[in-house]
Amino acid sequence: MDKMKRLAIAATLALAGVVLYTVAVHAQQAGAGKVDPVSVDSKHYKVEFENEKVRVLRVSYGPGEKSVMHYNPDSVIVSLTGDTTRMTTPDGKSHEAPTKAGAAIWAPAGSRLPQNVSDKRDEVIMVELKN
């Protein structure tokens, strides 16, 4: 193979690599805000029921355990155990939210990283609304 053909092949492969890398980076960035908790944290999130209107998750954290940043649509959360959860948003801000067993709360759609900051198991049922 002559030198020009090798150079053309090498340039084509390099260009293809750059294009594939760029596509992969943009795909990750586009989906970064909508990461499904069941997909990225199956240790803590389990689908109990799903249809075209809702998805019902059982969420369970041991003392001090935390998730990874993920996205939840508008949801209703029912605390089964009572807990204190620290919610951290993508901008790094966080707040602690204590709840009592049996309490139901509204959780607007958004990305968050939850952490159980209590000294007991935290278990909730989360009803995610679908459009």
Which pLDDT tens digit goes with each residue over 33-76? Answer: 599 999 999 999 999 999 999 999 999 999 999 999 999 999 99
Residue 116 pLDDT > 70, yes or no?
yes
Q: Are residues 26 and 52 in the same domain?
A: no
Q: With b meaning 16 or more CB within 10 Å and e meaning fewer, what string describes 2-11?
A: eeeeeeeeee
What pTM was computed for the model? 0.73
Q: Are residues 16 and 52 in the same domain?
A: no
**What's the mean per-residue pLDDT of the chain?**
84
Mean pLDDT within 70-85: 96
Q: Are residues 84 and 114 in the same domain?
A: yes
Picking from 24-33, 68-77, 85-94, which range would have the lowest pLDDT averaged per residue? 24-33
Mean pLDDT within 19-26: 38
**What total of structural domains would you count in the chain?**
2
Residue 1 pLDDT > 60, yes or no?
yes
- Find tokens 């090498």 and name the residue: 10
Q: Which residue has the higher pLDDT, 11 or 2?
A: 2
Q: Are residues 26 and 59 in the same domain?
A: no
Q: Are residues 24 and 79 in the same domain?
A: no
Provide the domain limits for residue 27: 3-34
61, containing H or E segment: strand 54-61
Q: How confident is the model at residue 15 (pLDDT cuts 50, 70, 90)?
A: very low
Q: Which residue has the higher pLDDT, 1 or 24?
A: 1
How far is CA 90 from its chain centroid?
11
Neighbour order of strands in the sheet with 54-61 = 45-50, 54-61, 122-129, 75-79, 104-107
CB 77 within 8 A of CB 104: yes
Q: Are residues 58 and 104 in the same domain?
A: yes
Q: What is the DSSP string of 94-126?
A: EEEEEE-TT-EEEE-SEEEEEEE-SSS-EEEEE
Using CA of residue 130, residue 128, residue 93, residue 98, what is the dihedral sign?
A: positive
Q: Are residues 57 and 94 in the same domain?
A: yes
Residue 72: give its domain's CATH number.
2.60.120.10
Residue 82 CB neighbour total at 10 angstroms: 16
Q: Are residues 98 and 56 in the same domain?
A: yes
Residue closest to 56 by CA, chosen among 127, 119, 131: 127
Q: Are residues 47 and 92 in the same domain?
A: yes
